[in-house]
Amino acid sequence: MDTRILGYLSVGIGAVAYAFYYRGIFAKTNPTRPHIFTWLAWTIAIGFVFFAQVKEGAGAGAWATGFTAINCVAVTIIAFFRGEKDIAWTDWVCFIGAIIGILYWRITFGLVVPIIILCISDVLAFIPTYRKDYLKPNEDTALAFALNSLKFCVALLALDSWSIATALFPATLVFDNALCCGIILFRRWYLRLKQNK
């Protein structure tokens, strides 16, 4: 299959995912409350990874990353007004990790180590959201995370060039988003079960 078709498909899935997420943010009852620091860290990390993917010839496989970077900027701005602002030490660790990854790249111009640092930072950036979703599972959008996991699965198939620089970060996002969706759905189920006892 033409990788461009998969690239368009990954962006289309991403558009649906973000449509659900934005709808959740502006819902009148049980609105989604994005964690501002998580989204700020993602904006920096995903923007850098998109640049790295383009540089390494990822082709259509980078489109989903670029689309995600744009939406991360938008959600970060919205989170400033409507999001969760409980800042924990892990938020600072992931933010500093993202900055270190970019500085390392500026010094060495190698992409592998910064991408690995950014993957670790991304996992850490999810921790505040995992914690929030565990405590308040009705304040997030499980479907958006499920679709984002699917989006990056398709984006991996759309890669024109496979390397650590092009594939590791999207693979990490497949796992992170799926885990976030799982936490939300499990906690909603568990809390309903507990309420019905």
When pLDDT is cut at 50, 70 and 90, the band that residue 181 belongs to is very high
- Identity (one letter) of the amino acid at 69? A
**pLDDT confidence of residue 1:** 66
**pLDDT bracket for residue 84 (50, 70, 90):** confident
Q: For the chain, how far is it from start to end, CA to CA, in angstroms?
A: 51
> Are residues 94 and 125 in contact, defined by beta-carbon separation less than 8 angstroms?
yes
pLDDT tier, 112 (very low <50, low <70, confident <90, very high otherwise): confident
pLDDT at 145: 94
Per-residue b or e along 26-49, where b marks 16 or more CB atoms closer than 10 Å to that residue's CB: eeeeebbbbbbbbbbbbbbbbbbb
Q: Where are the alpha helices (DSSP H) in the chain?
A: 3-25, 36-55, 63-82, 89-108, 112-135, 142-158, 164-196
pLDDT exceeds cutoff 90 at 48 = no
For tokens 């496989």, name the residue: 61
Band the pLDDT of 42: cuts 50, 70, 90: confident
Query: Longest Cα pair distance anywhere in the chain, in angstroms?
Result: 59
Average pLDDT over residues 5-22: 94
Lowest-confidence region among 15-24, 99-108, 173-182: 99-108
- Give me the chain's average pLDDT, please: 88
Tell whether the model's pLDDT for residue 35 goes beyond 90. no
Q: Half-sphere exposure of 106 toward its Cβ, with a 13 Å CA cutoff?
A: 7
Q: What confidence score (pLDDT) does residue 154 get? A: 95
